[in-house]
Amino acid sequence: MAKLSGLKHRFHPLFVLWLTIMWCLLMGEVSVANIVGGILVGLAVTMALPLPAMPLSGLDISWGLLARFILVWIGEFFQASVKVAWLALRPAAPPKTAILTVPMRVDSEFVLALSVMLYNLQPGGAVTDIDIASRQLTVHILDADNPQAIARELAAIARLEKSMIHIFERTV
């Protein structure tokens, strides 16, 4: 009976549905064979490769702040894309880069992982290492030609940290 209970906790219908949709997109068409194949792949992934449970206790999500953050983040994404494109195409030497260690004062590992993902998706910088115990990120910054550029990037990380705390870890 314990074996069946373990399988029950591994099966997540929404995840299987999501994987089926992704499978059909990867195959390029929606057909009966692709849907069946996607379901089989989804079942195989969820049963053979279960993900550990993510601790989400203590999160108090502010949906309004999250919606506003997403809109701001999308705008910043396009600005960063234009900036990185200009750095690549401009008639000058490539900018100096920097590797910095910055604190990330979030309590939840979920919020830390989400913050790292959001930072890595933005062009112009990347998290290269995460020290979970001390909540520090090692980041690679593409444009570090001068102290103002470095300060601007550190301020962007601080804004991301502040936003994540306000959205997910606010105290009531």
pLDDT digits (tens, 9 = 90+) for 91-108: 989 889 999 999 999 888
Query: Which string of b and e fits 21-31 if b means at least 16 CB within 10 Å?
Result: eebbeeeeeee
DSSP 169: B
pLDDT classification of 11: cutoffs 50, 70, 90: confident
**Total number of residues shown for the chain:** 172
Strand ranges in the chain using DSSP code E only, listed in sequence order: 98-103, 125-131, 136-141
More confident residue, 78 or 11: 78
pLDDT classification of 163: cutoffs 50, 70, 90: very high
- pLDDT confidence of residue 2: 46
- pLDDT confidence of residue 49: 82
Average pLDDT of every residue of the chain: 88
pLDDT digits (tens, 9 = 90+) for 20-76: 999 999 999 999 999 999 999 999 988 888 777 766 666 788 899 999 999 999 999
pLDDT digits (tens, 9 = 90+) for 121-142: 999 889 999 998 898 999 999 9
- pLDDT confidence of residue 172: 47
Are the CB atoms for 98 and 141 separated by under 8 Å?
yes
- pLDDT confidence of residue 48: 85
Which residue type sits at 62? S
DSSP 105: -
Q: What is the dihedral of CA 70, 76, 79, 85, to 10 degrees?
A: -90
More confident residue, 109 or 170: 109
Dihedral angle sign, alpha carbons of residues 41, 44, 46, 52: negative
